[in-house]
Amino acid sequence: MTLRLHNTLTKTKDALEDFPGFDRTNVRMYVCGPTVYDYAHIGNARPVIVFDVVFRLLRHLYGAAHVNYVRNITDIDDKINARAAELAAARGSDVEAARAEITAATAGQYLQDVTALGCLPPTHTPRATDYVREMVAMIETLIAAGHAYAAEGHVLYDVSSKPDYGKLARRSLDEMIAGARVDVAPYKKSPMDFVLWKPSDAATPGWPSPWGRGRPGWHIECSAMGAALLGETFDVHGGGIDLVFPHHENEIAQSEGAHQGHPLARIWMHNGFLQVEGEKMSKSLGNFVTINQLLQDWPGEVLRFNMLRSHYRQPMDWTVAGMTESWKTLERWYAIAEPVAGPRVGAAFLAALCDDLNTPQAIAELHRAPEDELAGGLGLLGFSNVQLRIAAKKAVDTTAIADAIAARNEARKAKNFRESDRIRDALLAQGIVLKDGPGGTTWEVKR
Ligand code: AMP
Ligand code: ZN
């Protein structure tokens, strides 16, 4: 089965296997990760879940040992610095310590959230702070190659040095200059030139560099981490649609500029945006939902399933009604089949996933699949049934179960086995399984 993915660069569905140099024993994917200063919201969950399914599909097709997935953690960023400055001021403490504390806590929360959504840990999750040396080296290479220039403690990428700048966003330089809200600054040759390095004052986190103490721009972070962990050219680069311009356009300019024009990624994948009950999610509209808040009321796998019912490139509307329906479908399926991660998946299901990750079609195939293919399909999509079982356990009336167990013990003592069996069977009919052991009787929710 050949995997074809819609490529933002070519606007066609491309097969990785058609690219010269594609190595099926070393399939490489990079996805832009979170900027860690606040809780991730359910919109941020979309790329995490979508690319986790791509990761699982690649592992299924090429073998788990042959797929390398990098999702970075952006822990150098001016939004983080602003939070760190507030925290440091409130405490009268050091801004660098505040930055480290905020990013460590937020990254930890993020990992917990996405694990609850059933996402596998990527092969590598590099932090920008661990790759500043590589960023400085890449900037030096860009200056030497004539793609960048230093000015007033800044280093800027010279977009006029790259004639195909704009090829991902499909805009010409003139269009971009006319349409973009770009910073005009005296040290820039062109308003489109973007920052690779900028100076830090004493109250801002910074690192030593040939251009003085400062910090990298966001775009160079990804180019340097990607190259360090995956090499010059990799197979899939992903993120949300909002990252196409300028972030990914600039990543291409930097990486190709530093690597003699070798392409950065073969296929560029972008997910559409999620909105809530028909509206853009925003704090002012009061419909801003963090993953963490959602997980208080819903099992993570319900959110995962709800997400996969839409095709990743379409905008999706997140609704409570959709979540409720997703929960019902999963419950019905789990009653028939326990998900297994393994080789047994249906051909039509796999064909749907290989056709630009058509998860709604793949789910439709599961509705008509036999039991074993349903189990395999759910496993490939990253479902495990653990959380629904826990949710079911929380929802059952534990006092009533304890009373029933006590009554059953009385009946057994009185050798009234007809009654004790009746109680056991009545519980079983409600999905509660009793286990008699040396320490007494325990119960669990039937799998
Ligand atoms: P950010 O932390 O804003 O850089 O976002 C992290 C990831 O989430 C990026 O890939 C964004 O494109 C993506 N993203 C942000 N908001 C949404 C949304 N409402 N729907 C889908 N993806 C989003
Ligand atoms: Zn990036």
Q: Is residue 153 part of a domain?
A: yes
Helix (H, G, I), strand (E, B) or coil at 15: strand
Q: Report residue 75: phi and psi, to 5°.
A: -115, 15
Instruction: Give 157's strand partners.
Output: 148, 194
Question: To which residue do tokens 């560099």 refer?
Answer: 209
Over residues 23-29, the mean pLDDT reads 98
Residue 256 shares a structural domain with residue 402: no
Q: Is 46 in the pocket of ligand 1 (CB under 6 A)?
A: yes
What integer pLDDT is reported at residue 221 of this predicted model?
Answer: 98
Q: Which atom of ligand 1 is nearest to the CA of 272?
A: 21
User: How many Cα atoms are found within 13 Å in the side-chain-facing hemisphere of 27?
Assistant: 22
Binding site membership of 299 for ligand 1 (Cβ less than 6 Å)? no
Using the mean position of ligand 2's atoms as its centre, give its distance from the Cα of residue 246 in Å: 10
Whether residue 77 lies inside any domain: the answer is yes
pLDDT at 180: 63
Domain boundary among 271, 290, 308: 271
Whether 286 is in a domain gets the answer no
- Residue 286 binned pLDDT confidence (cut-offs 50, 70, 90): confident
Give the pLDDT confidence of 137-179 residue by residue, as tens digits: 999 999 999 999 999 999 999 999 999 999 999 988 777 777 6
Name the domain count of the chain. 2
Domain-located, residue 303: no
Q: How far is the CA of 280 from the centre of ligand 2 (A)?
A: 23
Q: Residue of the nearest CA to atom 12 in ligand 1?
A: 240
Classify residue 237: in a domain, yes or no: yes
124: CA distance to ligand 1 center in Å?
20
- What is d(CA 350, CA 335) in angstroms, rounded to the nearest whole number? 23
Cβ 246 under 6 angstroms from ligand 1:
no
pTM, whole model, 2 decimals?
0.88
Choose the final residue of a domain: 225, 242, 271: 271
CB 239 near ligand 1, within 6 Å: yes
Distance 193 CA to ligand 2 centre (A): 18
The verdict on residue 309 lying in a domain is no
Locate 391 and state its tokens.
């949710």
**How much distance in Å is there from the Cα of 142 to the middle of ligand 2?**
18
Q: Are residues 408 and 266 in the same domain?
A: no
3-state helix vs strand vs coil in the chain, percent to 5: 50, 15, 35
Token pair recorded at residue 357: 């990750």
Check pocket membership of 352 for ligand 1, CB cut-off 6 A: no
Of 216, 245, 271, which residue is a domain's last?
Answer: 271
Say yes or no to pLDDT of 359 above 70. Answer: yes
Q: Whose CA is nearest to atom 18 of ligand 1?
A: 43
Peptide bond into 34 cis (omega under 30): no
Q: Binning pLDDT at 50, 70 and 90, where does residue 393 land? A: low
Query: Considering only CA atoms, which residue is closest to atom 17 of ligand 1?
Result: 43
Range of the domain at 434: 396-447
**Residue 182 — very low, low, confident or very high, per pLDDT cuts 50/70/90?**
low
* Domain-embedded: residue 297: no
Q: What is the mean pLDDT of residues 340-362?
A: 94
Compute the distance from residue 242 Cα to the ligand 2 centre, in Å.
11
| 166 Cβ inside 6 Å of ligand 1 | no
Q: Which atom of ligand 1 approaches the CA of 241 most closely?
A: 12
Around Cβ 268, how many Cβ atoms within 10 Å? Answer: 23
| DSSP-assigned letter for residue 17 | G
Ligand 1 pocket, 47 CB below 6 A?
Answer: yes
- The 10s digit of each residue's pLDDT in 78-132 is 999 999 999 999 998 899 999 999 999 999 999 999 999 999 999 999 999 999 9
Q: Are residues 81 and 217 in the same domain?
A: yes
Residue 38 lies in a domain: yes
Helix (H, G, I), strand (E, B) or coil at 174: helix
**Residue 42 pLDDT more than 90?**
yes
User: Which atom, in ligand 1's list, is nearest to the CA of 243?
Assistant: 12
